[in-house]
A and B are shown apart, each in its own frame.
Chain A
Amino acid sequence: MVNFSKNIKSVIKNLLTRKARSFLTILGIVIGVAGVIIIISIGAGAQALVLGQITKLGTNLIGVLPGKSNETGPPAAVFGIQIKTLIDNDVDAIGDKNRVPHATDVIAIVRGTTTLVTGDESVDTSFTATLGNYPQIGNVTMDRGTFFTVEEGKSGANVMVLGYDVAEQLFPNGGELGAIVKMQSSSNTFGSIPFRIIGVQQKLGTVAFQNQDDQVFIPLIIGQKQILGIDYVQGIRIKVDSSDNVKSTISDVEQVLREQHRITNKDNDDFSVRDLADAIKILTSITDGLRMFLGLMAGISLIVGGIGIMNIMLVTVSERTREIGLRKALGATSHQIRNQFLIEAVVLTGIGGILGIIAGIIVSYFIALGARYAGYDWAFVISPIAIILAIFVSSMTGIVFGLFPAMKASKLNPIDALRYE
């Protein structure tokens, strides 16, 4: 052990006499390790952010999307494919207290993008057409004015609630309540539809990578019939009275929809019902996969760094052939020579690993800082597993890529090595 620490000391002394080269040699390892740390940190931060925002909405929520999906994958509607199997009648049926007893609120949603015009101002934004009880389920707090009522939502009054940013853009000088805004219709029959503004939302920031302030709300039926010209809904959300009843309500909803759609075999379902726990599970599996993939990419750069180390160690061995010969002449065994070069490679990669961890933590910290500055509730997460992994992989790189040059050095015949020019 005494010998070992002495070895390391002399190796470090050795490396310090070649500072610039040693640094360039380990740069690959530094970047690789930093990359792994940063990617794992960003992944964890983003995951925590998204999950946190989802759970903030409450966990006793159920979502219904059109189209079938298997147990773990996301439904087709997630990928933007329009499936028309969910209709207004389904929403009413789910809302029937006799059929789905634990549902307290049921809303339907259609979404689209549109252009709003008032006077000289116009703005491109997205709209959500929904029912009046949306605020019970969705993430809505009013800054001023009111959300539309259940009656207004049902009867299809031409009223609109603005997101904070939309209000700022359309009415830079305020005075939007009661004003009339025209919304472009994508079904050409109606041209532009006028709406009266009845409320403005509070500033919400960005949730799940969507700016919640860059959207407007209009009653469901108006969105369907007058703006989009469709007669189906894109999604249904159900609030359950308590989280204990979520699972039973899911099967109630499935039962109702099968009756509505005259489906006898559950394999033929043309809808999918999920609670938030399922959604979190799916999201976690997707982000986990993504993190693994990106981590692997960074891992490949570690291998490239390792090859750099091997290259430099081979150069070092041939440069120091005479020194190896001398050391052998002075009594070093092949074993000791091999260890010397192996330790040198491992110390190099070890230092690279430590520098990489420091760099990775610093960069991750600044990314978290930047994300917070941009308004995200971003947690700065450094997982100890990432650090252990980085140290392990970088020293393994040193051993694996250092072994070949070290063996080459140890096998040199002392007198041949001494005579080497």
Chain B
Amino acid sequence: MLIQLKNITKEYDNSSAAVTKVLRGISLDVEEGEFLAIMGPSGSGKSTLMHIIGFLDRSTAGTYLFDGENIEEFTDDELARIRNERIGFVFQSFNLLARTSVLDNVILPLTYSKMKDHVALATKALEAVGLSNRLNFLSNQISGGQKQRVAIARALVCNPKVIFADEPTGNLDSKSGTTVMSILGRLNDEGRTIILVTHDRTVAEHAHRIITIRDGSIVSDEKNANPKKSEMIEEES
């Protein structure tokens, strides 16, 4: 089992007496190689859940085993290493470094790793998303769809087990969105675990398993027997 959550809760103690409970005892198992979509309306806690699974945030209570290791016992530096080596993130708003080349953006996680041959690895990752002809473009000289593909290459470059995608198509037109989903699908086919957060049913239908969260609790957990396959649409340019 890759990910095991037991009774994870998250509370925010905003100074005004009331404690906001965002997650109310989430238990969830994810196998290696799964393609999982977390759905839910905004404010349901789906992003918070993903941040906790993705080591960006810590839970208030509960246990989280990743690859059999208890995350609650990890120091901040150890979490940073896991974020670097074993997972990759794709964000809704791309989060590329401005005025920095596509290649350097993809190299960025490598600079925090022990890996060598940064340029070769980054070039390979960019080839995997079909952007090997954009290496030296600056991040503000490419389209939104291309930006998200750079972000996927960046998530991919350290060869992680899991890729987390937080509304990856949220800022994209449908054509670019389809391309992004097809890339994620292919990465899953290659054996990587994909955890996708979205509020969009059609996006979620790419996954093999869809869980729905409402008010901090899982309300449904269904297998998607017939996941949607998107074909990569080549953008002109």
A residues within 8 Å of B by Cβ?
3, 6, 10, 13, 17, 322-323, 326-336, 413-415, 418
CB-defined A-B contacts under 8 Å, sample of 8: A329-B83, A331-B80, A331-B158, A332-B80, A332-B84, A332-B112, A333-B77, A414-B56
Residues of chain B in range 49-100 having any CB-CB distance to chain A below 8 Å: 51, 54, 56-57, 76-77, 80-81, 83-85, 89, 91, 95, 97, 99-100
> A17, A336, A413, A414: which contacts B112 (Cβ < 8 A)?
A336
Shortest beta-carbon distance from A21 to chain B in Å: 13
Q: Is the CB of B83 within 8 A of A327?
A: no
CA distance A323 to B94 in the complex (A): 11
Shortest beta-carbon distance from A288 to chain B in Å: 50
Q: Is the CB of B95 within 8 A of A322?
A: yes
B154 at interface (Cβ–Cβ under 8 A)? yes
Shortest beta-carbon distance from A411 to chain B in Å: 10
CA distance A418 to B83 in the complex (A): 14
User: Which of A322, A333, A335 has its CB near the most chain B CB atoms (within 10 A)?
Assistant: A333
Q: Is the CB of B111 within 8 A of A6?
A: yes
Closest to B85 in A: A331
A330: chain B residues at CB < 8 Å are 83-84, 89, 108-109, 112, 154
Q: Is the CB of B99 within 8 A of A418?
A: no
Q: Is the CB of A415 within 8 A of B57?
A: yes
CA distance A17 to B101 in the complex (A): 12
Shortest beta-carbon distance from B19 to chain A in Å: 18
User: Which of B51, B80, B154 has its CB near the most chain A CB atoms (within 10 A)?
Assistant: B80
B143 at interface (Cβ–Cβ under 8 A)? no
CA distance A161 to B75 in the complex (A): 90
> A6, A331, A413, A414: which contacts B81 (Cβ < 8 A)?
A331
Shortest beta-carbon distance from B150 to chain A in Å: 13
User: Which of A10, A326, A332, A335 has its CB near the most chain B CB atoms (within 10 A)?
Assistant: A326
Shortest beta-carbon distance from B101 to chain A in Å: 10
CA distance A329 to B77 in the complex (A): 12
Shortest beta-carbon distance from B203 to chain A in Å: 21
Shortest beta-carbon distance from A242 to chain B in Å: 74
CA distance A413 to B52 in the complex (A): 13
Shortest beta-carbon distance from A43 to chain B in Å: 45
Closest to A416 in B: B57
B54: chain A residues at CB < 8 Å are 329
Q: Is the CB of B80 within 8 A of A333?
A: yes
CA distance A120 to B175 in the complex (A): 101
B7 at interface (Cβ–Cβ under 8 A)? no
Closest to B157 in A: A330
Closest to B158 in A: A331
CA distance A224 to B81 in the complex (A): 92
B167-210: CB near A (< 8 Å → 1, else 0) gives 00000000000000000000000000000000000000000000
CA distance A122 to B56 in the complex (A): 90
B136 at interface (Cβ–Cβ under 8 A)? no
CA distance A180 to B158 in the complex (A): 100
CA distance A409 to B95 in the complex (A): 18
